[in-house]
Amino acid sequence: MQKKHWSKFELLHEVVTNPNIHVKGQHSYYSDCWDNGFEQSVVRYLHGDEVSRQWEPRWEIDELYIGDYVCIGAEVVILMGGNHTHRVDWFCLYPFMDVIEDAYIGKGDTHIEDGVWLGMRAMVMPGVTIGEGAVVAANSVVTKDVAPYSIVGGSPAKVVKYRFDESVIDELISFKIYEWPEEKFEALRKHLCNSDFSKLKQAITDYDNCL
């Protein structure tokens, strides 16, 4: 067996087998050095793993959607499974099997959009959406939706700052960068890996005019 090292990672599209995990593209990765990998260690309580896929679901399954170019740091946890059958509005929240279906409340699908970076040991709670280009600081707990191109941190995670001005963020979203064909992305990558927005806009215009 190959020894793990912090420089190694796994590409999600190569390792995901759970039919309730939907991975876009071929670039999203997980730094799996210190655990058993994305499906076994990161994604928790999601029906469809190698054990639970043999079970008949007792309720509608909340699903996990992961965009392209997503960077997932070591020991991140993506918590699924709704309320885990613990009803905090009941006097006793213990999950008794004879009322287990009444005890379950779904939280909806979880979406981690394109270009997101989840820092080491961050936890994503069920049913949230983390917007395009957002950054979640290490050890943070995400309990609600995260705006595109924001940086959040803490427990619960709150906005620390935005990566760019609002007008720039609006334009970045309108460019639909992560929907581009691979050829266009590669042709413009040197401008994407830069902070000169005017040059990026001009490069996009020049590329599109050459088509």
Which active-site residues does the annotation give? 86
**Measured distance CA(14)–CA(190) in Å, rounded:** 27
Question: H or E stretch including 139?
Answer: none
141-142 β-sheet, strand order: 43-44, 77-79, 123-124, 141-142
The amino acid occupying position 18 is: N
Nearest to 112 by CA among 21, 14, 175, 13: 21
**Measured distance CA(87)–CA(13) in Å, rounded:** 35
Output the six-digit token pair for 61.
Answer: 């399954």
**Measured distance CA(187)–CA(80) in Å, rounded:** 37
* DSSP single-letter state for residue 75: T
